[in-house]
Amino acid sequence: MSIEVRNLHKTFGNFTALNNVSLDFPTGELVALLGPSGCGKTTLLRIIAGLENPDNGSVLFHGEDATDVHVRERNVGFVFQHYALFRHMTVFDNVAFGLSVRPKETRPSKEEIKRRVHELLKLVQLDWLADRYPHQLSGGQRQRIALARALAVEPKVLLLDEPFGALDAKVRKDLRRWLRRLHDELHITSIFVTHDQEEAMEVADRIVVLNKGKIEQIGSPDDIYNNPASPFVYDFIGQVNLFHSRVENGWAHIGDYKLPAPEFNGINNRTAVAYVRPHDIELTQDNSEGSIPATISHVSTAGSVLRIELKNNLSDDVIHVELPRSHERSLDLSVGANVFARPTSSKVFLQG
C-alpha cells in the first residue's frame, strides 16, 4: 500500500515538531526517516500510524484520506525500540495475540492461528523458542518476536521506530541485515525511524533526511551520500572535511590554493565552505597547484584502507583522508612528514 503525507504540521505548545512536511512512500519500499534527536521522525511516524493527530495536513493510504481513520482501522504493524512483549505470555501466545483477539466473525480457527504463528516464527527464524517467555530471550530475539507479532495481522504497512536502538552494536548490525532480507521477501511498505546514518544507508531503499521538522533531502542511499543537497546533509551523513574558502568567479580559494566551483561562475567575493569526503583527497609529497600543505599527525588502518589525519598548515584544522593501503609504499606517512593534500571532488556552499 502506498502512503502519502501532505502538508503535515504539528506543534507541541510553541514548539514546531513538523513544519509543512509532504512526501510519498511508494508501495513495497523500505524508507528510512533519518535525522538527529528531536527532528520530528517519531512524530511523523506516529501521525502515519494514527497515534497522533496533525494540526494541519493529511495522510493518504492508497490515495484515500486516512487522516481521521482510527489507528485500529489502519492495518499497520508497529515495532518500537522498547516494544514490551506481554511478559506473562509465551512467545507463541504473544505472536498469536493480534489474531486471537479479533471479533469472532473474522477470527481464524485455532488450527489456522497455530499454523500462522509457526509460519511467522519460522520467518523470523525463531520457531524453536515458541514455548519460552520474554524474559528467557535475548534483546535481539525479543525484537524479532515483536516483528513476528506485528506481521501476524498481515499489515499493509510496517512502522518501525528505532527497533534495534537498544541492542548492542554487533546484534544491531546482524538484525538490520536480517530485516533487509526479510523485507526483500515480504515487500511490505515499511517506514523505519533511525538516527543512525549507517543503519539507514544499509537498510533503506530510500532515505528521508529530516532536520528541525523539515525535509532536507529525499534520495537513495547513494544519492544522499554522493550528492548531499545541503551542508546539513553533508555533515550528518558520513565523515566530511570542511575547507573555509572564498569564491571568485568559478573557483573556491583556500589560502593560495583553489578548487573548481563552476556552479559559481560570475559570482565574486563570497565566503563559502567546500565539503570534501575523506576518500576524495589525494596526497602527494610534491607541491602542485590546487594542493594544501599539511603535516601527518596520525595514521591507522581499517581493513584495506588507511585512515590518515593531517594538520592543515593553512588553518590548523584537521583533515581526514582515506587511501587504499597500497599508498603506504609510495608515500612517507610517518608522523610529522610534510605532504600536500589535493581534493579531487568537492561541493561548495556559499555562506551568508
* Binder among 14, 37, 304, 326 for ligand ATP (CB under 6 A): 37
Q: How far is the CB of 80 from ligand ATP (least distance, A)?
A: 11
Angstrom distance (rounded) from CA 18 to CA 206 = 20
Q: How far is the CB of 63 from ligand ATP (least distance, A)?
A: 26
Q: Does 12 bind ligand ATP (CB under 6 A)?
A: yes
Q: Decide: 24 and 59 in contact? Cβ < 8 Å.
A: no
Q: How far is the CB of 189 from ligand ATP (least distance, A)?
A: 20
Specify the residue, 33 or 120, whose C-beta has the smaller distance to ligand ATP.
Answer: 33
Q: How far is the CB of 52 from ligand ATP (least distance, A)?
A: 8
Crossing angle of helices 91-100/139-152, nearest 10°?
20
Specify the residue, 43 or 291, whose C-beta has the smaller distance to ligand ATP.
Answer: 43
Q: Decide: 301 and 325 in contact? Cβ < 8 Å.
A: yes
* Binder among 42, 189, 211, 217 for ligand ATP (CB under 6 A): 42
Which residue type occupies 281?
Answer: I
Q: How far is the CB of 37 from ligand ATP (least distance, A)?
A: 3
Q: Decide: 164 and 176 in contact? Cβ < 8 Å.
A: yes
Angstrom distance (rounded) from CA 82 to CA 80 = 5
Sign of the CA dihedral running 349, 350, 351, 352: negative
Q: Which three cell numbers stand for residue 266?
A: 560570475
Q: Residue 283 forms beta bridges with which residues?
A: 341
Q: Does 17 bind ligand ATP (CB under 6 A)?
A: yes
Q: Does 207 bind ligand ATP (CB under 6 A)?
A: no
Crossing angle of helices 110-123/91-100, nearest 10°?
130
Sign of the CA dihedral running 278, 281, 282, 285: negative
Q: Residue 165, SS3?
A: coil
Q: Does 77 bind ligand ATP (CB under 6 A)?
A: no
Specify the residue, 141 or 194, whose C-beta has the smaller distance to ligand ATP.
Answer: 194
* Binder among 30, 35, 54, 130 for ligand ATP (CB under 6 A): 35
Q: Does 158 bind ligand ATP (CB under 6 A)?
A: no
Q: Decide: 212 and 41 in contact? Cβ < 8 Å.
A: no
Q: Does 40 bind ligand ATP (CB under 6 A)?
A: yes
Specify the residue, 212 or 253, whose C-beta has the smaller distance to ligand ATP.
Answer: 212
Q: Does 221 bind ligand ATP (CB under 6 A)?
A: no
User: Burial of 74 by CB count in 10 Å (0-12 exposed, 13-18 middle, 19+ buried)?
Assistant: buried
Stretch that binds ligand ATP, among 34-42, 220-228, 244-252, 253-261 (CB under 6 A): 34-42
* Binder among 5, 8, 21, 39 for ligand ATP (CB under 6 A): 39
Q: Does 57 bind ligand ATP (CB under 6 A)?
A: no
How many CB atoms lie under 10 A from the CB of residue 133?
16
Q: Does 190 bind ligand ATP (CB under 6 A)?
A: no
Stretch that binds ligand ATP, among 40-48, 68-76, 109-117, 171-179 (CB under 6 A): 40-48
Q: Decide: 34 and 56 in contact? Cβ < 8 Å.
A: no
Q: Does 41 bind ligand ATP (CB under 6 A)?
A: yes
Angstrom distance (rounded) from CA 48 to CA 71 = 9
* Binder among 74, 144, 195, 347 for ligand ATP (CB under 6 A): 195
- Which residues contribute to the site for ligand ATP (CB under 6 A)? 12, 15, 17, 35, 37-43, 195
